[in-house]
Structure 1
Amino acid sequence: MNLSSVIRPEDVILDLSVATKASLLQFLAGHAAGRTGVSGQVIHSALLGRENLGSTGIGNGVAVPHAPVEGLMAPFAALVILKKPVDFEAVDDLPVDIVFLLLSPPEGTGDYLKILAAVARKTRGDRMPDMLRGARSPAAAYSLLVQEEE
């Protein structure tokens, strides 16, 4: 399963202003709710449950909040580039400004794990995160994210 099968260009958001990790997770849940039809409260609870296990801040200014969500019919993803980094309790203690949200149906863990691994590979090192930070439009960020899939 490719990233382009779970994220759409309209789910790429640049220059979002949030002050905290909590407000970021609330925004992500609301956005996903509007796009999937699943309750924002259900999504938010799933994300908080996962974050309580340990931060999904993977380092280098990147976080990948993810969770299985009851009622979700297909995997859903969104990419958010923040205007200013926020503390996300990341593994390297650096604030986060690139956020890749990944939600999956509870029974879809195989594809979900493949997508999670693909995001981690793409954002390892400085090259891709720096290119995403420099994207001038959601379409440009989307193209960077899904390039070289085939």
Structure 2
Amino acid sequence: MNLVDFLDLEAIRFDLAAGSKRGLLNTLSQIAGQRLGIDGAAIAETVAERERLGSTGFGGGVAIPHGKLDGIDRVYGLVARLAQPIDYKAIDGEKVDLVFLLLSPRDAGAEHLKALASISRLVRDAGTLGKLRGARSRDALAAVLIGDDEREVA
């Protein structure tokens, strides 16, 4: 699965201010809710449920909060680069500055896992992470994401 198949490039948040993990997840949930036409509070609760199982702080300054919920018919992803890193209780203890919110329909087993794997591959590449962190605009951030997809296909 390619990133452009599920990432909402129009909704990328660049230098997003987030004082805390909870505030960040609520903000991203509201943005996703508006984009998807569903209740942001339902998204926030779904993501919070998943976080209670263990932090989705992936490591290396990256978090991939995710969940499955009713009311959507496709896998949906939202990317944010934070203005300042926040304590996310990541597995490596590092503060987080790149966040990939991933939402899927409840019955999207394989598709959800494929989307998680696509994000995981992206954030394991130090060069790509450097480009994401060095991007100077939302469009530049999107170009890095699209470029990574093109590199995977080639």
Measured against the shorter chain, the TM-score band is over 0.9
Return the offset for 1:146: 2.6
| 1:62 equivalent in structure 2 | 62
User: What is aligned with 2:31?
Assistant: 31
* 1:133 pairs with 2:129: no
SS in 2 for 1:49: helix
The answer to which of 90-99 and 107-116 deviates more is 107-116
Counterpart Cα distance in 2 of 1:43 and 1:77: 12
Q: Percent identity?
A: 39
Aligned residues: 150
Q: Higher helix fraction: Structure 1 or Structure 2?
A: 2
CA RMSD of aligned residues (A): 1.1
- Following TM superposition, where does structure 1 have runs of at least 4 consecutive aligned residues deviating by more than 4 angstroms? none
Alpha-carbon offset, residue 49 of structure 1: 0.2
Q: Which residue of 1 aligns with 2:18?
A: 18
Residues 73-125 of structure 1 show CA distances to partners (whole Å, capped at 9, x for unaligned) of: 11111110000000110010000000011100011121111110111111114
Uncovered stretches (5+) of structure 1, i.e. residues with no partner = none
Matching of residues 94-113 of structure 1 within 5 Å: 94-113=94-113
CA contact (8 A) 1:42 1:70 kept: no
User: How far apart are the structure 1 equivalents of 2:131 and 2:50?
Assistant: 28
TM-score by length of structure 1 reads 0.96
Paired residue type of 2:102 = L
What is the rounded CA distance, in whole Å, between the counterparts of 1:10 and 1:69 in structure 2?
22
Structure 2 unmatched runs, 5+ = none
CA distance in 1, matches of 2:152, 2:69: 26
Match of 1:119 in 2: 119
Q: Secondary structure of 1:33's match?
A: helix
